[in-house]
Amino acid sequence: MLKFVEMDKLVTLQMQLDENISPVILINKFNVAPEDVDALIKAWVDDSAYMKEQPGYISTQLHRGIGESCVFINYAVWESVEDFKRAFNNPEFKAKLSHYPSSAETSPHLFQKVAVPRICVD
């Protein structure tokens, strides 16, 4: 079973799911043992196919650390926290979490863009 590790010790994902923010970015960090990389990717592909069909889903991209790293980052864009919450809390999605290898840890956290003058826009 996938082990959840909070990215922020003060603000949990569960707390974030009560926010009313649009749009929202999910950053989800995965750590996995080297021998379980293929199983992690297979489980992620299955999750992503499910999420892609959910209302409010916009896009996702999986990234892997270079140099044979076993750290992965999923960057997903959702129209709103409410849309993500509905998909994330769906029992069909929750059942898919059992497909991850036992060495896998995940740290999902929701973000919104920050405007910094002359550097980035919100």
- Residue 16, amino acid: Q
Which pLDDT does position 23 carry in this prediction? 96
Enumerate domains of the chain plus CATH numbers. 3-111 (3.30.70.100)
| Inter-residue contact 71 to 31 (CB < 8 Å) | yes
Question: How far apart, in Å, are the Cα atoms of 7 and each of 10, 27, 30?
Answer: 9, 10, 11
Per-residue tens of pLDDT for the chain, all 122 residues: 789 999 999 999 999 999 999 999 999 999 999 999 999 999 999 999 999 999 999 999 999 999 999 999 999 999 999 999 999 999 999 999 999 999 999 999 999 999 999 999 87
Which pLDDT does position 1 carry in this prediction? 76
Which pLDDT does position 122 carry in this prediction? 73
CA 12 vs. chain centroid, Å, equals: 13
Which pLDDT does position 15 carry in this prediction? 97
Beta-bridge mates of residue 71: 31
